[in-house]
Amino acid sequence: MAIDVTMPALSPTMEVGTLAKWHVKPGQRVKSGDIIAEIETDKATMEVEAVDEGTVIELAVPEGLENVPVGTVILRLAGEGESSQPPPRPSERPAPSPSLEQGRAAALPSPLPLREGLGEGASAASAPAPAGNRIIASPLARRIAELQGVDLATVSGSGPRGRIVRADVEAAVGKPVASAAPALVAPAPKPAQAEPVEARAPAPAAPVTSDIPHSVEKLGNVRKVIARRLTEAKQSIPHIYLTLDVELDALLKLRGELNKALEPRGIKVSVNDLVIKALALGLRQVPKCNVSFAGDHLLVYDRADISVAVAAPSGLITPIITGADGKAVSQIAAEMKALAEKARAGKLQPHEYQGGTASLSNLGMFGIKQFEAVINPPQAMILAVGTGEKRAVVKGDALAIATVMTITGSFDHRAIDGADGAALMSAVKALIENPLGLVA
């Protein structure tokens, strides 16, 4: 029996992937551990290894195809003693439609089970093959046939693997049937005057067009996920922002001494590395901020894993310094350098960017004085770090000049009260202004 290899879920948020490159071809022998393909996920481009051994029968998904659903068969292998010839195609399967969505449905039959309550487009690609005389039809097609008195046994299916879809039943009736669809997917609508505003679905946005000379840049998977997740975060998380000014002179002096001592080891500590450590220790001092909101309960974390925003060519990604509260500053610096390089090359592994208990975003290197960052769910806080600059400060009864940096914490107000957020900000400020605590 042929072995089906499916599109893997390579990150928690991955729903679809792009088959970026094949490393095998039909007739090639594959053993466990061989690299078979490169998959572009919502986070990075990753190599996929074979789990089973066999001979490649068929590349079920063409190289470069986008939006392949997780669980879709992408490769078929023949086991020991089996034929390596491609399986026969059902004669009734139609040629792929010029439509992109129909083309995907025909080329990518999904092995996922049929989900009740979904409409035509959502369920057609996930139907099983016909078995014996059993009639395979979408729920919508069955509903229309029932209302119109059509015997499905007399209808020829044009969907994937001979599945009967809405268009087939309408062809049998001899006209389009529009009234049956709402009966499957939603109850009858309430009177307009009784419908609450919140229940009304927003009208679909009109395509953006322009007479101004322009080019069109297609969004990659990473940018699509960034857009979706940040929109959800701003719409669903009540953000509260707390800002403090922090003096940097003592930290800059310590950083110079550390780098001089670490030079023989080839390690260079940045201000960002020290702030990562300060945030991690601050979260341990104020554990009420090291949490995630989870409906009717909170997740309270026992260590501080800091997600650090890195600008990569494909979009923003947040590699994680795991257990930053327990690591030396030199170790944080070495790990951060390696993770940033992998992030920019699109080579991060899932365990290197999945999780995190809080985030840090630093735009100081661009001269940004202050900004408010969007929380990265399911985390409950993110620290935005601005540039260090010379400012006038009051010391005692006199004015003085100091290097000052503005930091802003964004907190999920469902999980973190303002007083607790303020306590964390004060703890981070104290650690930065008295930096020996970062290396003690």
At residue 50, φ and ψ (nearest 5 deg) are -75, 140
Return the pLDDT at 90: 47
Among 66-75, 185-194, 310-319, the least confident range: 185-194
3-state DSSP percent of the chain in helix, strand and coil, to 5: 35, 25, 45
Q: CA-CA distance, 72 to 104, in Å (whole number)?
A: 11
Q: Sign of torsion, CA 101 102 106 109?
A: positive
* Banded pLDDT at 82 (limits 50, 70, 90): low
* Banded pLDDT at 134 (limits 50, 70, 90): low
Return the pLDDT at 49: 87
364 has pLDDT over 90: yes
Most confident by average pLDDT, 70-84, 127-141, 336-350: 336-350
**In the beta sheet, which residues pair with residue 383?**
360, 409
Return the pLDDT at 187: 43
Return the pLDDT at 129: 39
* Banded pLDDT at 269 (limits 50, 70, 90): very high
High-pLDDT (> 90) share of the chain, % = 45
- Using CB atoms within 10 A of its CB, is residue 253 exposed (0-12), middle (13-18) or buried (19+)? exposed
Return the pLDDT at 188: 44
| Domains detected in the chain | 3-88 (2.40.50.100), 120-199 (4.10.320.10), 223-439 (3.30.559.10)
Determine the average pLDDT of the residues in 86-91: 52
Return the pLDDT at 205: 59
Residues 54, 23 contacting (CB under 8 angstroms): no
Return the pLDDT at 436: 95
Residue-wise pLDDT tens digits, 169-191: 777 877 555 443 333 334 444 44
Among 133-142, 227-236, 327-336, 420-429, the least confident range: 133-142
Compute CA 142 distance to the chain's CA centroid, rounded to the nearest angstrom. Answer: 36
Active site annotation includes 23: no
Among 176-185, 224-233, 353-362, the least confident range: 176-185
Out of 214, 297, 351, 413, the active site residue is 413
Determine the average pLDDT of the residues in 40-65: 84
403 has pLDDT over 90: yes
